Structure 1
Amino acid sequence: MKKLIAIFLLLIFVVSLVGCHNTQDAPVSGVLHQHQSTNEEIDLNIAVLKEPPMLTVVYGDKTMEALRGTTSWNYQNEDGTGVSLESDSMHPLQAKEYMTPIDLISSNISSTNSFEAFLQWDTTPDKISVYCWSEEFWNQPTAASEEIPVNVFMIDSNFETKPDISIELKDGNYIYEVVSEWNSSEKYGGTVRYSFYTIKSNMESQSID
């Protein structure tokens, strides 16, 4: 009789362990499943950009909106029909009066990389190229440009990875053109050119007697 009672208690103990194990794993599995489903819903209901995002240039404590130039854009309507937008614009070297300059002196700049500027869009492009000209080429749209390296660092934030995009501005007065391409979505995409320019104010330090 004692053996039967011992076996019966052993079976209850084993069943209890199995029950505890299943209860402990359930919340973790549920969170993962919920997170994956949410991502799938976001992918299926991705916003259709009917026009390209604006580019914001951040330098030190200053921000400015770059001038949007020549644009080739297309998107898909809900009924499946497509729309194409083509917009031609003047060359960056001829658009000085339409741009707000970035003053390399007046901004509070980082001591680590004093001429680093960040490029920000609401929806990041899939491909970015940056070119520049010296101010001596204003109003000379046929002048050859110099390509500027683009730095991209991936940052993890709130369960998603976002790119941190920056360039190093030249020390002086220069005009910049950012050529951006969106090509990863079947619902929208295109190529857009943005431009801005920098100035370096002639601020002479005054000695205090």
Structure 2
Amino acid sequence: MNENLGILFSGGKDSNYVTYLAKNAGNTISCLITLSSKNPNSYMFQSVGNEIIDMQAKSLGIPLLRHNTEGEKEKELEDLKQALILAKQNYNITGICTGAIKSCYQASRIQKICLELNLVCYNPIWQIDEDKYMNELLRDKFEISIFGIFSYPFEKPMLGKIIDKVQLDKLKQLRTEFKISIAGEGGEYESFILDSPMFKQKLVIKSFETKMDSENSGIITNCDVELVEK
């Protein structure tokens, strides 16, 4: 495969990892496509960490195309379509790459839009085994921070934690006890990448605030972040 790809980019582990895989497969990464949703409960797009996603794009050295959406169900699909049209016009993309793993809702709708726009849709981690996936992320030195928690048994102290081997073992224990997905595919948590093999500089968070909706639901916000040479 050798395409000019736009990456559907959220700043989390999935979109960062598929950027890495797509590049290693010989594709040109022409742009990162981010939908900035006003709805924190969007069915399609991650909003956590969106305000500092520009820092990742700068570290990657890849243009970032931002497109706003109200995050209304189904209407946000039209917003995505408009973003992809802009990406075709401005960056000559021939396809897109997504970090979809298990969500048929996301995958089927994105595929439909791609067919309408004559774009290839590349889903390199679709249906990947979550243990294999998380181990690959750690092996390839992705620094994964937990930026949002959304269900029991996750609590406020988890926010800002780095998923290293120790933390991954804790997630596996929670899976045994509570049947969670260690990759967050059940909506348990959302992540934000601070470093990856493709980053020219790593993101260092100097301070942040938390916004809790309940004991088991909250996000990181108002981050003070800087780029530091590796």
Task: Give me the TM-score of the superposition, normalised by structure 2.
Answer: 0.23
Q: Which has the higher helix share?
A: 2
Task: Give me the TM-score of the superposition, normalised by structure 1.
Answer: 0.25
